[in-house]
Structures are given as C-alpha cells and as structure tokens.
Structure 1
C-alpha cells in the first residue's frame, strides 16, 4: 500500500513555504528529484517522523512515531576514501561518531575491518559522478585525490579533479571543504612548476577562493603508516616513526638550515597517517578551523582531537 511520508522538523516537500526557511546545505531545492530511497534515508537523521497510510485520516497525534536512532551531527563525504590516507580518515571519522560516505574508483576495500561496515562505499569518478546523490545531506567534503604520472595526468588528477569537486560542493551548498595537499619541501621553483605541485596549488587556490571562511588546506610532508598495496601491507611506520621522533627532537638545531633549497626533503618531519586523519576530524567539527596548515599545525590539530 502506498504511504505518505512527512517530517515534523522540516518543511513538507513541495510546500509553498519560502525556500529561505530551509538551509541549502542540508535540504537543497533539487531534493524533489531524488529517489524515494534517498528521501526515506533522511528519516534516519531527524528526531521525529510521521507516517500516514493513503486514505487514512491525517491524525498526527495518533501516527507520530518517536524515532530512537543514532543521530549523527556530521555527515562527511571522503573523496578517495579507499586509499591510504582516505581510509585512515574514514576510520577516524566513524570512531568519532561521524557518518561517512566514500567516493573512489575502487569502492569498498577488500581487506577486513569492523569500521569498514560503518562507511557507505560508492564506486565512481569525480568527473562523471552524480553529485546530487553523493552530496545529499553532507556537512563537509574531504578530498584526498592526488597522484603521479605524466604532466598532463598530474594536472588532471591533482588540479582539475579537485577543482571540479570544490565547485560541485560549493554549488550544492556544502558548508566546508577540506583538501589534503602537500608540503613544498622548500624545493626550487623549477621542481615546484611540475604538474604535481602546480596541480595541488591550483586546487588549494580554488578551495580558499570558494571557501574563504571555512576551507581547509592541510600540507603534510611524508605520510607514514601501514599502507596496503595489491594485497600487501607496507610498514612505512618503520621508517617514518623514528624519523619523526629524531627530526622533532633536533628541530631547534636544524631551523637555521631551513632556508637552504630542498632542505626539507631531509629536515621536514614525517606525519603519521592517523594524526593527519585526526586533524581532518578536527577540521570537520571545529568551525574556527580554516585556512592553510603546516606539518606542525597538523600535529597540533590532531592532538586536540586525541584529548
């Protein structure tokens, strides 16, 4: 039997009330084009829903149902969520009670993990995805998109793909965008002019332009942790962890060398992938956290969430 669904906490779909009464970021005008499944999923995030069978008298006193659900205050879309950095962000976010949707070419990871079942995994490409379905109800977008290849490939992956994502999020009304960029290592200009770095910097500029008061750019150096490649686990922490401790301990002595070209290739402390993920969580939950963040600031942000 067909049923009628209404929400007591938001304007009824298709009502003639002013659109200004409903925040664009959460209930965009294109909501009416979504499928019934997507609309009904919204019921999970509100406190009270009302159902009335077709032909039955609309008596809200008798049909109102109090929904005791795990209501999450944040819903984050992670672009590249099945990758090394993206999966760490997804794991950290769900551990803090944040609802997570991942969009990546590979979709759901094949390795085990209880947290994996708490993420909505969507296979797709940012150039061809249906953003209405991906961004519906989101409060933030996190992009971990990046890679190496030819000049053209690096411009497209590091720059264009992220720029497309930033503009899609802005158009949809998502209030916050977080971009995982890269430390410049104090490299000479001819190296920084390659597609990898120029693509990243173009994406940074787009984030800061479209989100001047809520955009976040994180610039980590070498990221370490247990990285899975083709079914094998590479323990990057065996190198990164001791290097981080040593470089952090001697930082005061090495600062005078920081002005030397490419000095940070040796002197910039590595970043634990879990710390980077916690810094992202901090960015998602703290409205005063925006702008460009260095390696040290990333670690400080992570420490706040750990506490």
Structure 2
C-alpha cells in the first residue's frame, strides 16, 4: 500500500514566538513546512532560549516575503494543503518614525486610540485589473495598523490560499481584548474571522482564540503571565463579574507550546473548524500530547 502523501503547510509569521513553535510541531509530524516572513529565519535568541538553531529548524524552508504585499508570496502557496496566519500587533506605532525621532511614542498611542475613519474590507476595494493589491495603504507609510496587520493581511492571505487550493486555513485570533488595548485590536480580529468564514466557505477556516502566551525562553512573559493568571483566578472566584471589562486579562494564560500543538492537531482533524476557544485549545493540545506518547 502506498504511503500517504506528506502534508504541506505554510506558516506566515513562522519565525515568531508562536509561529516558530507551530513549525516545530508540524515538522515533528513529518510535514513539509515553509515559513514566510520579511526576515526569513528567526533570530533564535528572540524566540528560544538559545541563539543556535534547534535541529528541527533545518527541516523548515525559511522564505522571505512581505505579508502586506501578496504578490511577494503567492507563488509560495502553490501546492499547500494548509496555511496559517500567525502575525499581528498589540499596539500600533510608526516604529521607524519613533526610532528616528520623527514621531513621539505618545503620538502613536493617541492615534491607536483615535476613532478616525478606517479602511474597510480589502476584498471590496477597487484594484485595477492585472494589478496586485498591496495592503499597506500609502497614507500610513511604514506604519503597521490593526486594520492592515490583524485584519487585511489575514483576509488577503486567505483569498490567495483559497485560490491556490488550500484545504484549511488557520487564523491566530485572540480570546478577547483588554482594558489597556484599543477596542480595534479585537474588533479587527473578529472582522477577519467573519470575512474569512463568509468569503471562503470551501476552505476549512479555523480561528484559534488564545489568551496571553508565555514561555521561560522569553522572560518578560513570565511575570505578565503570573499577573494574568491572578486576574483569571479573581474572575473565576467572583463569577466573572468583571469578565467583560478585563477581557483577555481575566483569562487563564497558556504556554505558547500548548497553543502551537493545538494548531497542528486542529489541522490534522477535519472536524475542527470555526472559533476555537481556550478550553478546546487545551483539549487539542492534550490530544496531540497523547498521540506523541503512543
């Protein structure tokens, strides 16, 4: 009997904190894994405890492309069974402008919380025939916004994935917003989920909604996870009386490996689709762990 074909998975943002671990667990299953990011291979000291590439990294194809310019990555999607969008931002800022002294961090934060007009669904914008649609609007120059990173890049990636024949698409969303974040952080993620589900129904859409992620390899996340865990305990003891206000700050944090394993397990189970909340994320990760023990 012929051996089953190897699953091919594309991870956009595969060099990041979560994306790199999705690549790791996909490689462990023998899948053909390609990471797409602007910088290619990760700076390992920023995503693991070592600056040396781990052994599994040599089995990943680290490709460079701009998620905000679909023409740069479309050819890499050909033949993919599954595509993962593991990119996003917590706060908006014109990072280059701040670093160059052209804009203050305060101005960036004020813009993030502003209620000015925002671009709509990228699928509804007019693009001349034969031209590729860039997502980065010219009026923001190099600024990353919730609209172009958390929403539009995911919608356009899903569009190109569906056109390339991908069977499943994972969007790393979020459990909720938080008091310290503009409401647009979570609304743009929910808009991306809705657009992907409605526009590409033939492709199995999986919307992972993780809480705050932590790992000892990124020390800053440990005290933040402890504070978030305390918030989750308070929320549980009080019956969720402040759950709506606290958002993700009142949800149990998860180790980043748990979510990465859950993503890979979800891709291997055709019954998983739609929003995947924290309890189901944990269940999927446990299933993946049990499989690894067999």
**TM-score when scaled to structure 2?**
0.69
| Cα deviation, residue 197, structure 1 | 2.2
Distance 1:241 1:99 in 2: 36
Match of 2:14 among 81, 90, 98: 81
Per the alignment, residue 170 of structure 1 pairs with 162
Distance 1:235 1:98 in 2: 32
**Mapped contact 2:15–2:41 kept (Cα < 8 A):** yes
Q: Cα–Cα, structure 1 residues 292 and 248, in superposed 2: closer, same or farther, change >3 Å?
A: same
Per the alignment, residue 225 of structure 1 pairs with 215
| Cα deviation, residue 217, structure 1 | 0.3
Which 10-residue stretch deviates more, 275-284 or 263-272?
A: 263-272
Per the alignment, residue 98 of structure 2 pairs with none
Per the alignment, residue 95 of structure 1 pairs with 28
Deviations 1:51-96 (A, max 9, x none): xxxxxxxxxxxxxxxxxxx975311100010011111111111112
| Cα deviation, residue 263, structure 1 | 3.0
Higher strand proportion: 1
Per the alignment, residue 253 of structure 1 pairs with 237
| Cα deviation, residue 107, structure 1 | 0.3
Per the alignment, residue 293 of structure 1 pairs with 276
Matched, 1:240 2:206: no
Q: Cα–Cα, structure 1 residues 187 and 294, in superposed 2: closer, same or farther, change >3 Å?
A: farther
Match of 2:38 among 101, 105, 108: 105
The gaps in structure 1 that reach 5 residues or longer are 1-46, 48-69, 228-232
> Rg bigger for which structure?
1
Per the alignment, residue 118 of structure 1 pairs with 59
**TM-score when scaled to structure 1?**
0.66
Where in structure 1 do 4 or more consecutive aligned residues deviate above 4 Å?
Answer: 185-188, 241-244, 246-252
Which 10-residue stretch deviates more, 151-160 or 77-86?
A: 151-160
Matches within 5 A, 1:1-307: 73-111=6-44, 112-126=53-67, 127-147=69-89, 148-150=91-93, 151=112, 153-185=145-177, 191-192=182-183, 194=184, 196-212=185-201, 214-226=204-216, 233-234=218-219, 236-237=221-222, 239-240=224-225, 244=229, 253-254=237-238, 256-258=239-241, 260-307=243-290
Distance 1:175 1:93 in 2: 16
Distance 1:155 1:296 in 2: 28
**Mapped contact 2:174–2:208 kept (Cα < 8 A):** yes
Distance 1:281 1:241 in 2: 26
| Cα deviation, residue 225, structure 1 | 1.3
| Cα deviation, residue 198, structure 1 | 2.7
- Tell me the matched-pair count: 229
SS at match of 2:189: helix
Distance 1:170 1:224 in 2: 32
Relative CO higher for 1 or 2, CA cutoff 8 Å, sep ≥ 6?
A: 2
| Cα deviation, residue 186, structure 1 | 7.4
Distance 1:243 1:261 in 2: 15
